[in-house]
Amino acid sequence: MSRITVVYFSPTGGTKKAALALASKLAEEVREIALPVPDKKEYSFGPEDMVLFAFPVFGGRLPVLAAEQLKLFHGNGAAAITAAVYGNRAFEDALIECNDILEAQGFWTAASAALLSEHSMWREIASGRPDSQDQLQISHFAEQIREKLRQPREKAASVPGDRPYKSWSPMPVVPAVSDSCVGCGLCASQCPVSAIPKDQPKTTDPAKCILCMRCTAICPQKARSLPAPAAAMIQGKLSPLKDIRRENELFL
């Protein structure tokens, strides 16, 4: 296959980086679809198509927004590669949840990968990843995936995880806004769930916010961040992982 469509939800850029690293090794032509798609547009594929779905891991699960958006894609026998991108803790039930949805949508899940990227809430965890070592590993993964796709279709990718999926709910906090905010509105225009009012960009609707950290990553003034107590809690929980290098994993 000379063309691949990459569908990704990448609030802080890490998932997109990892996904494109893999996609560029799988096909010469790469088409991108960023989630959420405007107006809930639906997409249909066929048996000759190859689609890479990539998403960040939220608490060991597929983000709710991504799970909802995947139902806009109809496989009709297309080959799917799935990638769970996580920040050095664990991917738990994220891949099995994604694959279950896509198989129900008519995709054949040919391969799945758990890929490393900087943790969105504490960038010192898995800092700089995916790095050059990851790129070499991803290239090897791509060779294995291409080889499987050349063979007659048999079993779908076997991935770890549990059913029912683990329960998860986001922390009951929203990003804090400092006096550095100039009200430019970039965060409001880029929030994937419209949790930041365009006429009041210094506020965040806690009923909508999914704590994806996009606003903190893109703010030109660095005016948005996790509230100090939440940041301290996250750092305390993740500090044992700071010096551990987890490796990417491929499942066929």
- Torsion of Cα atoms, 34 then 36 then 90 then 195, to 10°: 130
Domains of the chain by start residue, with CATH:
3-164 (3.40.50.360), 176-236 (3.30.70.20)
Contact call for residues 81 and 147 (beta carbons, < 8 A): no
- What 3-state DSSP class applies to 178? coil
pLDDT in tens, the chain (252 residues): 689 999 999 999 999 999 999 999 999 999 999 999 999 999 999 999 999 999 999 999 999 999 999 999 999 999 999 999 999 999 999 999 999 999 999 999 999 999 999 999 988 898 899 999 999 999 999 999 999 999 999 899 999 999 999 998 888 999 999 999 999 999 999 999 999 999 999 999 999 999 999 999 999 999 999 999 999 998 998 899 888 999 999 999
60: region left, alpha or beta (phi > 0 left; psi from -120 to 50 alpha) = left
